[in-house]
């Protein structure tokens, strides 16, 4: 059973991982990221961390915050870990540019309200 007291810690892990992704991809185009294996792998790793931290959030917390697509985030982690050989880099770029910014804002709000 996951402990609700740890939710804030997990949310901080998510926020830190998002910040790392922002740092690793800042100023890069999708093509540049795809050709820079160091930054690409570091980015994928931190998106995996986001998914794992989401998985470890308490069920109660996730149920109380249904506006965040928790299951989608968890599934992304599973794809990156288990289907690493067929990562769709267009989807990855979309996650970086379109999905992480609103997730970051939500997580910051959640942390401030805990």
CB of 58 closer than 8 Å to CB of 4: yes
Q: Which two tokens stand for residue 80?
A: 């990156």
Please indicate whether residue 2 is annotated as part of the active site: no
Q: What pLDDT was estimated at residue 2?
A: 54
CB of 89 closer than 8 Å to CB of 30: yes
pTM: 0.92
- CA–CA gap between residue 12 and residue 114 (Å, rounded): 11
CB of 113 closer than 8 Å to CB of 7: no
Which DSSP state fits 84?
Answer: G
| Backbone phi, psi, residue 79, to 5° | -65, -45
Mean pLDDT by 10 residues, the chain (114 residues): 74 98 98 97 97 96 97 92 87 97 98 93
Question: Catalytic residue among 13, 39, 77, 78, which?
Answer: 77
Q: What pLDDT was estimated at residue 3?
A: 57
Q: What pLDDT was estimated at residue 5?
A: 58
């Amino acid at each position: 059973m996951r402990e609700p007291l740890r939710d804030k810690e997990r949310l901080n892990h998510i926020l830190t991982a998002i910040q790392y992704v922002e740092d690793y991809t800042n100023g890069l185009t999708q093509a540049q990221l795809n050709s820079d294996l160091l930054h690409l792998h570091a980015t994928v790793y931190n998106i995996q961390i986001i998914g794992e931290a989401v998985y470890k959030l308490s069920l109660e917390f996730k149920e109380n915050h249904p506006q965040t697509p928790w299951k989608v985030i968890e599934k992304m982690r599973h794809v990156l870990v288990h289907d690493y050989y067929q990562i769709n880099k267009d989807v990855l770029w979309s996650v970086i540019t379109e999905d992480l910014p609103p997730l970051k804002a939500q997580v910051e709000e959640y942390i401030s309200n805990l």
